[in-house]
Structure 1
Amino acid sequence: MSYLDLISNKKRKREERVFRFKIFGENGYPVEFDGSFEQNIKKLLELAHFEGNICRRMPSWSFKLEVIRQPTFHILLFVVEEPIEASLEHHCKHCKYVGWGQNMICNRKYHFVLTSKDMEAAFLDCQDEATSTKDNFNLVQLQGHIMHGVFHSNGFGHLLCVNGMEAGSTLAGWQVMEFWDRLCKGLRARKVSLNDISQKRSMELRLLYGVAFSEPWFGRWGYKFGRGSFGVTQPMHQKAIETIQGMPLCILVHYLGNSNHHIPVIFSRYQTLSDHSLVTLGDLFRFMLDLKTHLPDENCIDSYNVEPTCRWSPKRVEMATRVIVEALKRAEFRWVSRQDVRDAARAYIGDTGLLDFVLKSLGNHVVGNYLVRRCLNPVTKVLEYCLEDVSNVYPEQLGLVINNSKMKGRYKMARPQLMKDMLYLYKCILKDQKPTLNQGILNAMPAAARIILDSKYLVKEYNGELPWKIHHNGHEEAGKMTLYCTVVLRNKQEGNEVMRKAMPPFECITLKNKTTFNELKLEVERKFRELYWGLRSFNVESIMNLNVKGTDLVFELVEVGQKIVFEGSNTEIGMINELIYECRVNNRVIDCGCGAEEDDGERMLSCDICEVWQHSRCVGIPNNQEMPPIFICSRCEKEIMIHLPSIP
């Protein structure tokens, strides 16, 4: 039984439905995602187990997800709805930092959390505590989750954390990302951002994978450069990658080889292993990362040994093992069911108990030149076995002879050695800015690496401006039509001047064929009031791109899928329109030497004279150093020196 199951038997009030982790979020599982983002969320939560208002009295639900059936391994996915009234901070700093500050504040957020074992225990313990404990418990503010993502109700979202096995998770990072990507696609999110601070053995993956593959580790799921810190732009980021990628290895050996003898040795080692010439640094890191995926994980494969407590003699176990392996060899490396293997072996071994013992013990163990693979068929739910030839992995251990020097060197390579070499090159060439790197053509390397590291905000566009494609025929046959609608909020200024604010994204509005424009206006008001905090009192006053009467039928004057923009204003007294956007009213003047003019989430300080904000790093204050009690920028210092009277 899994850790979660042991707790659940004591804590959970009733049996829950179990969902498959590997396909959760795909269209049709567990529901058909055929509406807007908000509609899809509501549809999904109808199947969840309602947990009550335990996260600071915010509605919460959970899904029990089956990761592995045999042995049983489950994990909990929590969904927490955060209404604007329950938010400690109305404005979203993640929207602000990634450049979505002009988005309107939504009425709701939805947190999706895959919890760690410790978080699960704390959550379940809270259910039995007093009401005061429940009021203070807030799952979404805790750290250490396997995954935490948040969606605004308009479909914009942020992936806040992913913790793989190196961080103590029970899931690999790629498994978590596959799950998150399925959720975003299924729910029909618009755009999703993340702050890429992922590392592998102290190596920043955005730098390592950027040099090797021209994209970050998250790029395999479609995440791309969104916004850079310290004034970094997308062209600067691309140029920095090309600079390091194209660095010739011969140049590096020329400048670094005399003072560091390890670097030429490592270069030579992987050039010997490669089937093609490794010319640049990008070639080398790409080959090393590709090679890593083909090397075995030594901790996962063991040589087959007889258990000391076995009631059969080693000779009999060895004979049964040999018979089973020969039966699998006759299958020509195809997957064979356990029953078929057992039946084939019974022609030579009559003791079925011995065969069952050996079949149970053989899974994922090396026997001679072969690895015996065992897994559960996901369709038939039957155990299957297959042989994999590993004579090319550990040739010395298996007593084999390989004449090809490249093949021989590759098979001697182990993953720990490769990771050690990669870390060494990363520190010496990419990360540590030593004086030797400031010579000749190497001058640009440290600055280029810094630019890549400062490009942390990544974005993936799932559906963008339009939430989903409209199938014209389907709606017409059903007696309905669908339009894309949005609104423009305007402020009436003195002197009859009208100031229009940025529009929210288009929303899909489905109407009956006999709907009038007056009814359409009411539906648009209802839709946008429900979505956005700053539009709760919004009234439509006109249609910007159509000249129609309120009693006109919509379907007679517009086409299915047409975009319509409605203009109006808020009627609520005291509503300050500048406060309804994620960027909030910000009177701070940012003018940093790096070129930044907006808050990018990096540490800043202001001049005590002109009150202009700059990055602390850009004025020479490292992040590990405390801020000075008084700071005067260089411009004000010059002004002071100019106007300061000379002292005799």
Structure 2
Amino acid sequence: MSHLDVIIGSKKRKRSGERAFRFKSFGKPGYPVEFVGSFRENVKALLEFGHVESNSATEMPSWSFQLEVHRQTQILLFVVEEAVETSLNRQYCKHCQYVGWGHHLICNKKYHFLLSSKDTAAAYINSCEGDSNNVRAGCANGKSNMLELQGHIMHGVFHSNGFGHLLSVNGVEMDSDLAGHLIMAFWDRLCTGLRARISERTEVEFVPLFGRKVSLKDISQKRGMELRLLHGLAYGEPWFGRWGYKFGRGTFCVTQPMYQKAIEAIQGMPLRLLIHELGTSNHDVGVILSRYQALSDHSLISLGDLFHFMLELKSRLPKENCIDSYNPGILVETTCRWSPKRVEMATRVIVEALKRAEFRWVSRQEVRDAARSYIGDTGLLDFVLKSLGNHIVGNYLVRRSLNPVTKVLEYCLEDISNVLPNQEGLAITNPRVMARYKITRVQLMKDIVYLYKYILKDQKPAQGTGIFSAVSVAAGIILDSKYLIKEYFGDLPLKVELGFEGKLNIYCTVLLRNNELEADEGEKAMPPYECVTLKNNATIDDLQVEVQRSFREIYMGLRSFVVESALNLNAQGTDLVFGLVEVGRKLVFEGRTKEQGIITEQIHESGRNNEVVDCPCGAKEDDGERMVSCDICEVWQHTRCVRIPNTEETPHIFLCTRCEQEIVHLPFLP
């Protein structure tokens, strides 16, 4: 019986010995296994706890883990082992190419980790056990329908060298049972565990070791808003940044410095200039800005301040309750020793004193002295002055700021009657007007979406000049920064580790020398360091044999690799490894493949790609964006860069600008 039957509601009883794992703990050290070896060893150790899917007719081995989210909610984790010979697509990894890892050697295996919903699990059962002979043939030919199905809660893949790609995350927005942050926490635990290099119980000192990297393409959205732009504006990093993912590679030739400058520019856009540019063309934007300025405890100066405050407010605001952005003065706490009536009276006196200042900034002491003519309780005045800053009182916003020169608190009134409904006196009595300033989560999200679309995304032609042109350019750069990378570092002991059962962990890589590979390019061809485990009485010859075995097992192009020498180790083959390797030493072994005439390009992820990319944006490589090829010179360019809208199909005949100009200047034929 398969775990699939349990998940989709089969009435068969679960087999004895099968185990359900806690979803929120799965992947932590010791649950279900201690991750103490290399990536391959850790994967094998994890799969020993999985249930072998015997009902799969595919040639790809697969395992399943039953994960319990809640007592009544269970999901299924599939692990599918895909060999390069049975790959569903071409052997080259397009994700590696797009993120800039085209120089990596092709691995022999990939491991797909899939969190499947009930729908995808049921679809897999139906496709491989249905009555259709065509479907059965598809499964038998190695077409793993589980990998082809869409709608997985999560799909991540690792190459056998430990590098990986997070291909999809479908949270609540896609009708998933799990929120996106829970899925990402699960994925991060897996990545961290599988990349663990040294047991935490090993008492040695460490230095950083070259880590394994995981990439993702950030196209996540929420209510039509691109999260990489929304969170970049509010927090200076994408939504995935909370798990350590950072800029990896931009499309359309966007670089990391360009991305960082765009983030700083769009975050620092002054709100006053934006309001000035809008003028009277949009009344709603002014109302929204004043609403959240009144709710904030400090002045919202920039566009980044505004969006940061709104997103933080959303995280703290109860789903059902609301807060009142209209305040006749201040919110009186239940522990306040003055009655609300006395607080409101003191507020009126202070506002009238500020009115007499004719909207100029006045010091706290000056305001306090003017109010003392009417309010003798200085404690009450101090309380109100402390609490009143950046609150709406009637038609006025009471601003409070620290003078940067005198370091003295100053107050000023700002007339906001032009952006608020007409009000009489200092209190709002109209229920409709009061309801307008009740902030719920629904209203807050509407305001965020409105500002996002009006200021950042759907700008009108009139907004194409001035400060809005800078906003548009910065937003475009951020949206073109889709590929994110996180590096999971391991550790290298400062001395050779004498592990359990008298074994040594040595960290090695290889340098492939072929006729096609020049000597000065050797460093580029070096794979990442691998952890090689030896007995403490192993010799240099034993080490070379183990290095050969490990790298042959990992990489397709090194299946016949033979070690010839160690570049940075002067030793004889019979010398013992233990005691010979110096503190912090990493070993590089040089060798060749037995196969004659091996083509270097065919063993790297980039392959032998004869396509030439030369786009006006400066791109020289395929970055995953839509491209079109010139029918004369066959050079590829982005459709966006040659002004072909994404909503239109590429033309049947396309000529680049250079070829067009050459044709125009050709002499007429007789």
TM-score normalised to structure 1 length: 0.78
Which residue is 1:362 aligned to? none
Which residue is 2:19 aligned to? 17
- Tell me the amino acid that sits aligned with residue 21 of structure 1: F
SS in structure 1 of the partner of residue 493 of structure 2: coil
For 1:591 and 1:11, how far apart are their aligned partners in 2? 61
For 1:259 and 1:283, how far apart are their aligned partners in 2? 23
For 1:205 and 1:442, how far apart are their aligned partners in 2? 20
Q: 1:412 to 1:441 in 2, by over 3 A?
A: closer
- Tell me the amino acid that sits aligned with residue 546 of structure 1: L
Which residue is 2:193 aligned to? 186
Q: 1:133 to 1:591 in 2, by over 3 A?
A: closer
CA contact (8 A) 2:564 2:589 kept: yes
For 1:504 and 1:265, how far apart are their aligned partners in 2? 58
Out of 301, 318, 331, which is 1:279 matched to?
301
Which residue is 1:368 aligned to? none
1:548 to partner: Cα distance = 2.4
Q: 1:134 to 1:429 in 2, by over 3 A?
A: same
**2:535 maps to 1:512:** yes
CA contact (8 A) 1:483 1:561 kept: no
Which residue is 2:562 aligned to? 539
- Tell me the amino acid that sits aligned with residue 431 of structure 1: K
Q: Which moved more, 1:91-100 or 1:467-476?
A: 467-476
For 1:46 and 1:3, how far apart are their aligned partners in 2? 21
CA deviations over 1:191-234 (Å, ceiling 9, x no partner): 11000000000000000000110000111111000000001001
For 1:85 and 1:192, how far apart are their aligned partners in 2? 23
Matches within 5 A, 1:474-493: 475=498, 478-492=501-515
CA contact (8 A) 1:257 1:264 kept: no
Which residue is 1:437 aligned to? 463
Which residue is 2:69 aligned to? 67
For 2:529 and 2:519, how far apart are their aligned partners in 1? 26
**2:552 maps to 1:529:** yes
Which residue is 1:233 aligned to? 255
SS in structure 2 of the partner of residue 97 of structure 1: helix
Q: 1:565 to 1:253 in 2, by over 3 A?
A: same
SS in structure 2 of the partner of residue 551 of structure 1: coil
For 2:64 and 2:484, how far apart are their aligned partners in 1? 28
1:415 to partner: Cα distance = 0.5
1:34 to partner: Cα distance = 0.7
Matches within 5 A, 1:610-621: 610-621=633-644
Which residue is 2:183 aligned to? 176
Q: Which moved more, 1:570-579 or 1:111-120?
A: 570-579
**Share of identical aligned residues, percent?**
62
Which residue is 2:339 aligned to? none
Matches within 5 A, 1:82-97: 82-88=82-88, 89-97=90-98
Q: 1:260 to 1:254 in 2, by over 3 A?
A: same
CA contact (8 A) 1:4 1:117 kept: no
Q: 1:253 to 1:204 in 2, by over 3 A?
A: same
- Tell me the amino acid that sits aligned with residue 96 of structure 2: C
- Tell me the amino acid that sits aligned with residue 631 of structure 1: F
Which residue is 2:482 aligned to? 456
Q: Which moved more, 1:190-199 or 1:628-637?
A: 628-637
Matches within 5 A, 1:77-476: 77-88=77-88, 89-125=90-126, 128-129=129-130, 132=137, 134-135=139-140, 136-188=143-195, 190-298=212-320, 412-463=438-489, 467-470=490-493, 472=495, 475=498
For 1:212 and 1:490, how far apart are their aligned partners in 2? 49
SS in structure 2 of the partner of residue 491 of structure 1: coil
1:121 to partner: Cα distance = 1.4
1:498 to partner: Cα distance = 9.0
CA contact (8 A) 1:246 1:281 kept: yes
For 1:214 and 1:229, how far apart are their aligned partners in 2? 19
CA contact (8 A) 1:481 1:510 kept: yes
- Tell me the amino acid that sits aligned with residue 300 of structure 2: L
Q: Which moved more, 1:191-200 or 1:627-636?
A: 627-636
Q: 1:477 to 1:155 in 2, by over 3 A?
A: closer
Out of 588, 594, 598, which is 2:611 matched to?
588
For 2:579 and 2:24, how far apart are their aligned partners in 1? 47
SS in structure 1 of the partner of residue 450 of structure 2: helix
For 1:232 and 1:198, how far apart are their aligned partners in 2? 19
Out of 54, 69, 87, which is 2:56 matched to?
54
SS in structure 1 of the partner of residue 513 of structure 2: strand
For 1:107 and 1:436, how far apart are their aligned partners in 2? 56
For 1:75 and 1:533, how far apart are their aligned partners in 2? 34
CA contact (8 A) 1:188 1:468 kept: no
- Tell me the amino acid that sits aligned with residue 179 of structure 1: F
1:577 to partner: Cα distance = 2.4
Provide the aligned C-alpha RMSD in A.
2.8
For 1:497 and 1:462, how far apart are their aligned partners in 2? 30
For 2:170 and 2:290, how far apart are their aligned partners in 1? 35
Q: Structure 2: any 5+ residue segments left out of the alignment?
A: 197-211, 323-426
CA contact (8 A) 1:543 1:566 kept: yes
1:441 to partner: Cα distance = 2.9
For 1:81 and 1:616, how far apart are their aligned partners in 2? 36
- Tell me the amino acid that sits aligned with residue 606 of structure 2: C
CA contact (8 A) 2:496 2:578 kept: no
For 1:214 and 1:581, how far apart are their aligned partners in 2? 35
Q: 1:402 to 1:540 in 2, by over 3 A?
A: farther
For 2:663 and 2:8, how far apart are their aligned partners in 1? 70
CA contact (8 A) 1:490 1:498 kept: no
Equivalenced residue count is 536
1:245 to partner: Cα distance = 0.9
SS in structure 2 of the partner of residue 555 of structure 1: coil
SS in structure 2 of the partner of residue 582 of structure 1: coil
Q: Which moved more, 1:449-458 or 1:511-520?
A: 511-520
CA contact (8 A) 1:492 1:499 kept: no
Matches within 5 A, 1:20-39: 20-39=22-41
Which residue is 2:626 aligned to? 603
CA contact (8 A) 2:228 2:238 kept: yes
CA contact (8 A) 2:111 2:159 kept: yes
For 2:179 and 2:499, how far apart are their aligned partners in 1? 46
CA contact (8 A) 2:7 2:118 kept: no
Q: Which moved more, 1:163-172 or 1:51-60?
A: 51-60
- Tell me the amino acid that sits aligned with residue 158 of structure 2: F
Q: 1:93 to 1:527 in 2, by over 3 A?
A: same
1:143 to partner: Cα distance = 0.6
CA deviations over 1:422-461 (Å, ceiling 9, x no partner): 1111111100132232222332111111111010000001
Which residue is 1:637 aligned to? 660
Which residue is 2:650 aligned to? 627
CA contact (8 A) 1:192 1:459 kept: yes
CA contact (8 A) 1:4 1:74 kept: no
- Tell me the amino acid that sits aligned with residue 52 of structure 2: F
SS in structure 2 of the partner of residue 271 of structure 1: helix
- Tell me the amino acid that sits aligned with residue 104 of structure 2: N
CA contact (8 A) 2:104 2:604 kept: yes
SS in structure 1 of the partner of residue 281 of structure 2: coil
Q: Which moved more, 1:506-515 or 1:209-218?
A: 506-515
SS in structure 1 of the partner of residue 625 of structure 2: coil
- Tell me the amino acid that sits aligned with residue 316 of structure 2: H
CA contact (8 A) 1:205 1:216 kept: yes
CA contact (8 A) 2:247 2:483 kept: yes
1:530 to partner: Cα distance = 0.6
1:24 to partner: Cα distance = 0.4
1:251 to partner: Cα distance = 0.9
CA deviations over 1:461-512 (Å, ceiling 9, x no partner): 112xxx4443848616853332210001111269x98974611000111222
CA deviations over 1:44-96 (Å, ceiling 9, x no partner): 11011110372632101000111012xx1111111101111111321110011
